[in-house]
Chains A and B, each alone.
Chain A
Amino acid sequence: MRASVLLIAAVVAVTSAGLVARTLARVGVHQGYAPEQPIAFSHKLHAGDSKVPCLYCHSSARTSRHAGIPSVNVCMNCHSMLTKQTVDIERLKEAVQRRQPIVWTKVHNLPDFVYFNHSQHVGANVACQSCHGPVETMARVRQEAPLTMGWCLDCHRTRGAELQRSRMAWAHADPNAPLPVTDCGKCHY
C-alpha cells in the first residue's frame, strides 16, 4: 500500500514537473497566433485559389529585411479593375479614398535582438511556406512555426549548411570548415 502511494506520488510529481517545464518553455512562443485583421484578407483566396505569387504583393522580401505588407496601391492594381464587391473590399476602397493607411496586426513577431532578413532567405530559395506554413490555405493567417531559436537553428544546421557549402564551393572545398550559418552574430547584433 505504502509503495503504491509513493509510486502514485512520484508519477504525479514527475508529470506535473514535466507540465510546468513545458509551459515554461512555451513562454513567449506564440505558435498558432492568428489575430483578427482590420480587413479579412484571405490568403487562401489570393495565394491559393487565384494563385497570386507571394512576391507580387510582398515584393520587398526580395530586397529588404522586411517582407513588407503591400501598400494599398498594390491592392488596387487588381481591385480597381475587379467588379466584385464585398464589405472588406469596400473597406479597402474607403482607405484609398480617405488616404488612410490600413493598420494591420503583425502576426510573426521576432524580438528586437534578432536580426532577420527576408531577402537573404528568399535569395537562398527558401520557400515562404518553410517558415510561414501553408499560407495559401489560410483564410486568416496564423503563426505556423514556433519561431524559437531552436526552430531557426534546425534549418540553419541542415539546409543552411548545405546551401552554404554549395555556395562556398568556389572559395574552398574543406568539408570540415566551420560554417557561418550557426554563428551567433549571424542573427544577434
Chain B
Amino acid sequence: MGKRFTCHKISEGRAEAQAIVSKDHIMFYLIDPATGTVIEKAHDLEGRSIAHKALIFPGGKGSSVVQADGLYQLNQRENSPAAMIIEHPETVLVSSAIIMEVPMVDRVDPAFYETVKDGDRIVVDADQGIIEILEETEDSK
C-alpha cells in the first residue's frame, strides 16, 4: 500500500490517475478541449495535457463563466481531468466540478505536497477523504 493522506471532499467521486502538478492557477478555457493541452502562454503547464490526470493546482482564475464552459468542453470530449486537488477553492470552480461530476478535494495534509511528484500514480477518493500515492511502477516512470 502506498502513502495515504487525508483531504476534504468538495465534489464526490473516486479516481486513480497520474498526478500533474501546476504552480500556476488554472483557466480551463485556455485548455484545448480536443487534447486537454494547456494553451495559455507562459503558463506553468503550457503545452502539457491535463486530460485524465489528477490535477494538483493552487486555484482557478478568470471570468466566472468561462471556467464552466472550459470544463464542459473537456468533458464533452472525454478529456476532463480525472480528479482535482485544489488549495484555494472558490465557488466558480467548485460549482463547475460538482455540475460536471469531476471529483475534487481540498484541505489536503500538507505532507502530501512535499511527497507527491509530477507523474506519480495516485488515488483521489473524495468520498472517503483520502488521497493515496501508489507504489512506483515501471509504467509511471
* A and B together in one complex: no
